[in-house]
Amino acid sequence: MHPMLTIAVRAARAAGQTIMRAYTELDRVEVSAKGINDFVTSVDKEAEAAITYQIRKSYPDHTIVGEEKGENRGENKDYIWIVDPLDGTNNFVRGIPHFAVSIALQYKGKTEVAVVYDPVREELFTAIRGKGAKLNDFRIRVTNVNELAPTIIGTGFPFKARQHTETYMAIFGEVFGHCSDLRRTGSAALDLAYVAAGRLDGFFEIGLKPWDIAAGDLLCREAGGTVTDFTGGHNYLISGNIVAGSPKVTTELVKTMRPLLNEGLKR
């Protein structure tokens, strides 16, 4: 195993243990608002600290960018760890058993290692650039679908970017008219992992952050998928607007969505 993947897995499992201990005593979890419709718990912070500890033990000079503590700059700026300690916080707080730890490592701007860990199901999704993607050590691939008609597509509502609600609902309606069904589960990291594993045929969402996307992006691409922004470009880590799926599904989704985009979603 890639030595940095070993550390990423160790960090993800440590965070998962922290999360699951708290999940058995949800009434003790402290919840506070970071912004409108944006919540953080004491568990998010503890899980991020567990991840940072594991990374710093082996790579004390690397930079870590986490959802909760922002950028923890190290001397070596070529290596950047992008961390979401608990993707699906709202699910976690409500006792809905669907959330994950997401960790990606970038070297000079390219994502080299990715881990998405579901501690409820003990499912570990991993990828190394150029080496493929795995679920619990078994190779995974995106589905081989040539059209939208039989597909199940994952999505997420723009609850932090409600200025796009009208456009999003138009896109939702158009995609729903072309596919078999749509799913909204509450964890973008797991949605992307599910696309990589062939459980979903595609996925689209507005306004995500790099820590939501970075690991799932590499998982999808290493599983044979295509990841783009809403116009078919590659600006999704900056814009947060992402489309992922098998190559033909991604192409069909972009083609379906493009005529409905407002100016804010074309960037």
Residues in binding site: 67, 84, 86-87, 212
CA distances from 139 to 5, 59, 132, 222 (A): 16, 28, 7, 10
Dist CA 260 CA 256 (whole Å)? 8
C-alpha span between 117 and 111 (Å, rounded): 17
Q: Which residues contact 102 (CB under 8 A, 6 or more apart)?
A: 83, 84, 87, 115, 116, 117, 189, 211, 212, 214, 215, 216
Which residue in 231, 232, 229, 233 sits closest to 213, CA to CA? 229
Closest CA to 155 of 134, 140, 176, 138: 176
Binding-site positions for Mg(2+) read 67, 84, 86-87, 212
By C-alpha distance, which of 160, 179, 158 is closest to 169? Answer: 158
Q: Are 249 and 201 in contact (CB under 8 A)?
A: yes
Distance CA 173, CA 232 (A): 20
